[in-house]
């Protein structure tokens, strides 16, 4: 592997991050010494420690570099880490090689045959379906997934080292470092406007990414302003789902592709956006060379990604759905999914906005999408890496939601208020620490029975 084979020690700043930990597992499995820092213990850091990767939670900036040989050490950090973070400063001043996660992922992918999944939404689901299809049909695949796959209980699928599946992240333009053999673009909605400034610049950057492969190797959502192999649902796309029916919360459909039709396929994830992701993954797997006859069974056995329309509770009298949705388009997708699966059923939406900048950019869109639900509980904005912005609060957002049944809620009151709510179906959405609250709510209801 060009540039990485002489490295003995990989040190991660932000090792508990979903993309970072996948890399940490990857290097650990290849016999390298791996260690790192994260802000707080979590399920991910515990799973790293379980395999013998040392993780600490205190900035050791004054002495962190004492153990490592600069010539044989690579320091990997995530953009979420502040530039003046002690350990990062110390490594930089001591002459260590320091790279961003995306750059290292690019180095691995570019040294292999690679399939890259890009798009503002759908990256994680599409890449996990694709990784699963390749693994189940016998390909020597390593897939780096931006979420915990339910089939593998991991963010890394490892069945060999012949082909790499990688999420091509548009955040800070990092996906332009990739040189994929096959690629896709699932969507190009405005996001990360704090980086790009406007939607046009973001669109042009996606086009630049699309140009990294020939149009015969680029899968695109039908209707995007690009040339490539089109993917769609019940439309004229080259790769599409036709004759769709929903039975017991699963899609049954015929998969039309340029060489024919595979009939009677089944996909167990709700939501048309997810079905579209599945069609993209099927097309990419076919173009890679997966045996067509094995694909239906492989798709049927795919069971999703944690926190992507994950059923935490699914009983006759209560349904609790957990989703990572943090953008208006994703909230719309959750609403579409839940109404398709539970027609004519009132739904309570619990939402934690993520980032002040995103809330400011999409305030009216958030309000519009949340207004579709029967009732809305809003938590405070999760700041992540940001400082507050004047006039951008959950209270302002609440005022714009066109619903009589809506309220601000604290984490302390969450369980009690959800328990009191009349709706049978509850969806909890957000990319912040609402994931922790969802587990608490789930445990409360499990023990209540």
The rounded distance, in Å, linking the Cα atoms of 21 and 10 is 12
Phi, psi angle pair for 296, to nearest 5° = -60, -45
| Same-domain status, 13 and 139 | no
248, 268, 300 — which closes off a domain?
Answer: 300
Token pair belonging to 363:
């305030």
Annotated binding site for ATP: 119-125
Give the chain's end-to-end CA distance (angstroms, integer).
54
pLDDT tens per residue across span 136-188:
999 999 999 988 999 999 999 999 999 999 999 887 777 888 999 999 999 98
Determine, yes or no, domain membership for 106: no
Determine, yes or no, domain membership for 426: yes
Please report, for the domain that includes residue 180, its CATH number: 3.40.1190.10
Determine, yes or no, domain membership for 96: yes
How many helices (H) and strands (E) the chain has is answered by 15, 21
Q: How many domains does the chain have?
A: 3
| Same-domain status, 92 and 117 | no
Please report, for the domain that includes residue 420, its CATH number: 3.90.190.20
Determine, yes or no, domain membership for 278: yes
| CB-neighbour burial class of residue 211 (10 A; exposed 0-12, middle 13-18, buried 19+) | middle
| Same-domain status, 138 and 229 | yes
Name the pLDDT band for 193 (thresholds 50, 70, 90): low
Per-residue confidence (pLDDT) for residue 191, from 0 to 100: 58
Determine, yes or no, domain membership for 2: no
Give the per-residue SS3 of 95-111: CCEEEEHHHHHHHHHHC
Token pair belonging to 390:
């004047």
Answer yes or no: is pLDDT of 192 > 60.
no
Q: Are 112 and 164 in contact (CB under 8 A)?
A: yes
The rounded distance, in Å, linking the Cα atoms of 187 and 198 is 16
Please report, for the domain that includes residue 65, its CATH number: 3.40.50.720
If one compares 176 and 232, the residue with the highest pLDDT of the two is 232
Determine, yes or no, domain membership for 3: no
Give me the helix-helix angle, 272-288 and 328-341, nearest 10°. 100
**Length of the chain, please?**
449
| Same-domain status, 195 and 141 | yes
Annotated binding site: 119-125
Answer yes or no: is pLDDT of 86 > 50.
yes
Domain that holds residue 93: 9-100
Phi, psi angle pair for 367, to nearest 5° = -60, -45
- CB count within 10 Å of CB 227 equals 14
The rounded distance, in Å, linking the Cα atoms of 8 and 10 is 7
The rounded distance, in Å, linking the Cα atoms of 305 and 157 is 12
Answer yes or no: is pLDDT of 2 > 50.
no
Answer yes or no: is pLDDT of 268 > 70.
yes
- What is the secondary structure of 428-447 as a DSSP string? EE-SSTHHHHHHHHHHHHHH
Answer yes or no: is pLDDT of 423 > 50.
yes
Average pLDDT over residues 91-112: 93
Average pLDDT over residues 379-397: 94
| Same-domain status, 178 and 58 | no
Determine, yes or no, domain membership for 428: yes
| Same-domain status, 295 and 314 | no
Phi, psi angle pair for 287, to nearest 5° = -65, -35
The contacts of residue 153 (CB under 8 Å, 6+ apart) are: none
| Same-domain status, 289 and 325 | no
Conformation bin of residue 160: beta by default, left when phi > 0, alpha when psi is -120 to 50: left
Per-residue confidence (pLDDT) for residue 201, from 0 to 100: 83
| Same-domain status, 224 and 349 | no
Q: Are 22 and 47 in contact (CB under 8 A)?
A: no
The contacts of residue 40 (CB under 8 Å, 6+ apart) are: 16, 57
CA dihedral 10, 120, 319, 363 (to 10 degrees): 120
Give the three-class secondary structure for 258: coil
Ordered strands of the 310-314 beta sheet:
310-314, 319-323, 425-429, 347-351, 375-378, 406-408
Around 312, how many Cα atoms within 13 Å sit in the side-chain half-sphere? 23
Per-residue confidence (pLDDT) for residue 200, from 0 to 100: 84
Give me the helix-helix angle, 272-288 and 123-136, nearest 10°. 40
If one compares 412 and 65, the residue with the highest pLDDT of the two is 412
| Same-domain status, 337 and 250 | no
Per-residue confidence (pLDDT) for residue 250, from 0 to 100: 84
| Same-domain status, 81 and 202 | no
Q: What is the pTM of this model?
A: 0.83
249, 281, 300 — which closes off a domain?
Answer: 300
Determine, yes or no, domain membership for 105: no
The rounded distance, in Å, linking the Cα atoms of 420 and 430 is 22
- CB count within 10 Å of CB 285 equals 29
Q: Across-strand partners of 219?
A: 184, 229
Give the three-class secondary structure for 423: coil
| Same-domain status, 362 and 213 | no
Give the three-class secondary structure for 121: coil
| Same-domain status, 93 and 169 | no
The rounded distance, in Å, linking the Cα atoms of 232 and 75 is 41
100, 133, 155 — which closes off a domain?
Answer: 100
Per-residue confidence (pLDDT) for residue 189, from 0 to 100: 77
Give me the helix-helix angle, 43-50 and 18-29, nearest 10°. 10
Reduced to 3 DSSP states, what percent helix, strand and coil does the chain have, rounded to the nearest 5? 40, 25, 35
């Amino acid at each position: 592997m060009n540039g990485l084979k002489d490295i003995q020690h990989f040190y991660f700043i932000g090792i508990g991050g979903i993309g970072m930990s996948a890399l940490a597992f990857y290097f650990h499995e290849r016999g390298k010494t791996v260690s790192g820092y994260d802000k707080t213990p979590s399920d991910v850091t515990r799973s790293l420690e379980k395999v013998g990767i040392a993780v600490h939670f205190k900035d050791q900036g004054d002495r962190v570099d004492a153990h490592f040989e600069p010539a044989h050490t690579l320091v990997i950090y995530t953009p979420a880490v502040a530039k003046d973070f002690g350990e990062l400063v110390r490594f930089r001043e001591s002459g260590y090689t320091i790279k961003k996660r995306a750059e290292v992922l690019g180095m691995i992918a570019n040294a292999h045959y690679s399939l890259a999944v890009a798009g503002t939404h759908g990256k994680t689901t599409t890449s996990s379906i694709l990784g699963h299809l390749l693994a189940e049909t016998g390909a020597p695949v390593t897939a780096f997934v931006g979420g915990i796959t339910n089939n593998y209980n991991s963010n890394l699928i490892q069945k060999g080292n012949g082909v790499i599946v990688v999420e091509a992240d548009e955040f800070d333009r990092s996906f332009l470092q990739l040189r994929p053999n096959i690629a896709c673009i699932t969507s190009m909605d405005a996001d990360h406007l704090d980086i790009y400034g406007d939607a046009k610049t973001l669109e042009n950057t996606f086009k630049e990414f699309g140009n990294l492969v020939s149009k015969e190797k680029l899968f695109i959502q039908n209707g995007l302003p690009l040339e490539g192999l089109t993917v769609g649902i019940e439309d004229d796309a080259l790769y599409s789902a036709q004759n769709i029916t929903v039975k017991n919360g699963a899609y049954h459909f015929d998969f039309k592709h340029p060489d024919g039709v595979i009939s009677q396929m089944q996909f167990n994830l709700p939501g048309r956006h997810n079905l579209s992701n599945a069609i993209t993954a099927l097309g990419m797997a076919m173009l890679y060379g997966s045996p067509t006859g094995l694909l239906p069974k492989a798709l049927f056995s795919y069971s999703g990604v944690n926190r992507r329309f994950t059923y935490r509770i699914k009983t006759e009298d209560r349904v609790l759905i957990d989703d990572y949705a943090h953008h208006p388009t994703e909230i719309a997708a959750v609403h579409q999914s839940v109404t398709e699966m539970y027609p004519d059923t009132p739904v309570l939406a619990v939402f934690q906005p993520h980032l002040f900048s995103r809330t400011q950019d999409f305030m009216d869109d958030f309000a519009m999408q949340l207004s579709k639900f029967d009732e809305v509980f809003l938590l405070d904005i999760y700041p992540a890496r940001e400082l507050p912005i004047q006039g951008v609060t959950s209270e302002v957002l609440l005022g714009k939601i066109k619903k009589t049944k809506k309220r601000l809620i604290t984490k302390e009151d969450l369980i009690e208020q959800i328990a009191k709510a009349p709706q049978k179906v509850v969806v909890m959405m957000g990319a912040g620490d609402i994931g922790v609250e969802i587990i608490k709510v789930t445990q409360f209801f499990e023990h209540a029975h």
